[in-house]
Structure 1
Amino acid sequence: MKHYVITSDDVSARGAADDCAVQLRKYASLGAGDHRRWVELSDRAGAANVFAQHWFMDAALRHSAPAGDAVLAVVLDHEGAWLGAVPLVPEPSFGRWPVRNWQTWLATNQFLGTPLVSPRDAHRFWRSLLRYLDAHTKQGLLLHCRRFAQDDPVCAALADCCDAEGRAFRVLERFERPARFPGSAIRPAGKSEKKALARLRSLRGRLERDHGPVTVTIEEPDACCEHWIDTFLALERKGWKGRTGSALACSPDTEALFREVIRGGQERRVIRLAKLAANGRPLAMSSWFEAGDRGLGFKMAFDEAFRSYAPGQLLMRSVADCVGRNPAMHFDTCTPALRGQRNSPWNDDRTIYDCAVAIGPRRYRLLFDGLMRARTAWATAIPAIRRITKTGAAD
């Protein structure tokens, strides 16, 4: 059910404060000129978020069925150049609460949601977009932003704009991801990291004794990637993801998106493809993005029959060593922190968060405040409710 009705494929308005136009564009309505401006924006915005760049997001919107209701929110300057873009989707509820809102749209396997904006234009982008939503989203109470990064200047600009305008901004969830920041690679290894390295050396030695020579291969940037793609998809489908139907190859859309992203990344020389094998048999495979001094993890799979040898961890050690060859690299693994593996092989943490921003007229801001208080009260009450329920069941 659609709760926001866009009567044309191109809804736009101009924000007086920054002389910027805002458009909500259906993907199908974008023409050759729009795609050209999108590419130009990608070049200006830089490589902080590969997932937001034209070549990735264009493929994501084409291959993702859930993107049907999504619109591309575009902020343009007075000459028509794109200052920023972010896909949004109208949602009928906010968690358990029946409150209509706008949510930043994420593709399958998109691990960072930062909009495509040049940092120098970030404040203009957010001021224009928020004021547009204030004026045109009468049924929307908030903008729900997902998987933003605390250290990203575009995300910081959103908080700045909210603070300057007295607009409510609430962090909903915050978590850490293993990362490597500039300078981490040259720091001396601590005691716990030395212990982890010794364990991995032991596992690799045992794997070689039991199953033959262990090799780690990283594909050349100009190599054909089709065999690597086929092997990865088959390896992932053999494991628990295949059994639960969540492997990439279990859906034509997700497989097509993965294939196009790997090919596109290889063509632009920003994707890295690695494989760990024993006696020629692939046991673990990984892919990640590197563009300039920014890196983002992407997809990984391993052979569960060899779990006791930790092939995924062995390969990650090699990936970390590869990433560490560039001391200026800022690398986000895009994976959740795992208990017991804090210092191996990543030295740092990157803070990722979801947030809610109030939009609409003053009475909507008051409702937003009430919603946030109710949400906090419910989260506080849940443990007590569970204890009471558990006690009652025991009785």
Structure 2
Amino acid sequence: MITSPTQLDSLPATSAADSRWLVQMREFPCETSPAMETAWRDLERRSLLRNPFLSPAFVFPQQPPPLVVGAPQLLTIINDQGRWLAAGLFERVRGTRQLPLPHLRAVRMQHAYKTGMLVDATHRQEVMDALWDFTHDQGLHGLAFPLLPIRSPLACLLAERCEREQLAVITDDLFERATVKVRDTGEDTGVSVRRAKSLRRGQRALQKHGELAMRFRSCSPHDLSAVEQFLYLEALGWKGNAQTALACQAAEAQAFREVALGLASRDRIRFAELVIENRVIASMCLLRSEADYYAFKIGWDPQFERGCPGFLLAHEIRQRINELPGCERIDSCAAAGSFLEHVWPDRKLMCTALFTTTRWGSIAARGTDWIRGQFRRWKAPAVEQPPTQSQESLGEMV
């Protein structure tokens, strides 16, 4: 029987999977130090897959509740020289709908739109060995990641390990997320004729108020105007009414200011702004992770809603994406059905992925997956349901 996810406090927190390495889980939030932050940043620089939502600049300011959800613990793998080789935020769960046995599940930070873990690219196989040994020592049967790109280097690395040991990989909640790449600059591929006409009408409507322009801005400790403008616009309209905007909670707004400053110190944040006569009417926050940028959130002034400022800003970003330093792609961070799908033509396949680490875990996951499939067919026999994917059907993933 699948129980509600709860923290397994009785399990030990450390394991010497390799005599040279220490695998450790500690409660999070935890006390931090400059040395810890430096080690984390160094790992982020060397990581197989860089994730802005696992950057210390993003995580540390969000330690106070309610900005962390779940029951998080920080998992680290550290070598005998004190160098971090892997890190991630997880919770220990007794069972979930994917696996009714104890396992680790990646914690999704509030306002984070991707999970995963940081893994040293040059020691990836050794990290997998240590991680597998740790789960065995702890009586854990798998690793689960919500909102994981299914074809990311991390997903492929974990899937390859499962394939080698003939263990199950289960993926649920598949959806395609809109993205835009540098190759899409200067053309409207994927934009329907109707949408293109709507964009032109919106542009003409906004130009009636004055000169219309789009710009990219950064921020610094001496100039937070782009941050404050973004917070203001994001709180207008439905987000403010629903109390879901960052500015609706003083703690969240302050945490975002600290995140912005931390990322700005390493040139990893930009704000795309749509401007009429020096008045900002729309702003999108972009977080940088090397060649990938992430559209964290967007806000616009509903006074100009007839001109579709959100659509127009997204379209202008597509046309001028090559002005972002080192950018190759922007991830929309949006759910399926977002308006960004109408103007950003590329897609990234996302999922909730479970990688089993033991035979019992593999058997239980496959059995649970089969039962859930039977239940779906019984519940809605007239509607063809997209099945979950097991290891055998992942194909391109490994």
Question: Structure 1 length as normaliser, TM-score?
Answer: 0.83
> CA–CA distance in 2 between the matches of 1:378 and 1:249?
43
Contact 1:183 1:328 in 2 (8 A): no
Contact 1:175 1:353 in 2 (8 A): yes
Q: Does 1:206 align with 2:205?
A: yes
- The answer to which of 159-168 and 318-327 deviates more is 318-327
Q: Percent identity?
A: 20
The equivalent of 2:89 in structure 1 is 87
With over 3 angstroms needed to count, the CA separation of the structure-2 counterparts of 1:143 and 1:339, relative to structure 1, is closer
Residue ranges of structure 2 left out of the alignment (5+ in a row): 384-398
> CA–CA distance in 1 between the matches of 2:368 and 2:322?
45
Q: Does 1:370 align with 2:367?
A: yes
Q: How does 1:14-25 map to 2 (within 5 A)?
A: 14-16=16-18, 20-25=21-26
> CA–CA distance in 2 between the matches of 1:153 and 1:142?
18
The equivalent of 1:357 in structure 2 is 355
Question: What's the CA shift string for 1:271-322, capped at 9, x where partnerless?
Answer: 1112223344432111102344222211111223432211001111222223
> CA–CA distance in 1 between the matches of 2:191 and 2:38?
50
> CA–CA distance in 1 between the matches of 2:98 and 2:228?
40
Q: Does 1:380 align with 2:377?
A: yes
Residue ranges of structure 1 left out of the alignment (5+ in a row): 387-395
> CA–CA distance in 1 between the matches of 2:330 and 2:349?
13
The equivalent of 2:78 in structure 1 is 76
Question: What's the CA shift string for 1:30-69, capped at 9, x where partnerless?
Answer: 5443333212212222773222222222223356554573
With over 3 angstroms needed to count, the CA separation of the structure-2 counterparts of 1:132 and 1:46, relative to structure 1, is closer
How many residues end up aligned between the 2 structures? 378
With over 3 angstroms needed to count, the CA separation of the structure-2 counterparts of 1:358 and 1:154, relative to structure 1, is closer
With over 3 angstroms needed to count, the CA separation of the structure-2 counterparts of 1:126 and 1:213, relative to structure 1, is same
Question: Aligned letter for 1:4?
Answer: L
SS of the residue aligned with 2:155? helix
* RMSD (Å), alpha carbons: 3.2
The equivalent of 1:321 in structure 2 is 319
Question: Aligned letter for 2:155?
Answer: C
Question: Aligned letter for 2:176?
Answer: E
Question: Aligned letter for 1:38?
Answer: W
With over 3 angstroms needed to count, the CA separation of the structure-2 counterparts of 1:241 and 1:96, relative to structure 1, is farther
The equivalent of 2:392 in structure 1 is none
SS of the residue aligned with 2:214? strand
Q: Does 1:256 align with 2:254?
A: yes
Question: Aligned letter for 2:158?
Answer: L
> CA–CA distance in 2 between the matches of 1:267 and 1:57?
15
Q: Does 1:308 align with 2:298?
A: no
With over 3 angstroms needed to count, the CA separation of the structure-2 counterparts of 1:225 and 1:118, relative to structure 1, is farther
Question: What's the CA shift string for 1:229-249, capped at 9, x where partnerless?
Answer: 333223222221222221212
SS of the residue aligned with 1:148? strand
Contact 2:75 2:89 in 1 (8 A): yes
Question: Structure 2 length as normaliser, TM-score?
Answer: 0.82
With over 3 angstroms needed to count, the CA separation of the structure-2 counterparts of 1:304 and 1:290, relative to structure 1, is same
> CA–CA distance in 1 between the matches of 2:233 and 2:104?
37
Contact 1:64 1:107 in 2 (8 A): no
Question: Aligned letter for 2:27?
Answer: K
The equivalent of 1:176 in structure 2 is 176
Q: Does 1:267 align with 2:269?
A: no
Q: Does 1:5 align with 2:3?
A: no
With over 3 angstroms needed to count, the CA separation of the structure-2 counterparts of 1:183 and 1:190, relative to structure 1, is closer
SS of the residue aligned with 1:129? helix
Contact 2:311 2:340 in 1 (8 A): no
With over 3 angstroms needed to count, the CA separation of the structure-2 counterparts of 1:269 and 1:81, relative to structure 1, is same
- Report the Cα offset of residue 189 of structure 1: 4.4
- Report the Cα offset of residue 195 of structure 1: 6.4
> CA–CA distance in 2 between the matches of 1:74 and 1:223?
31
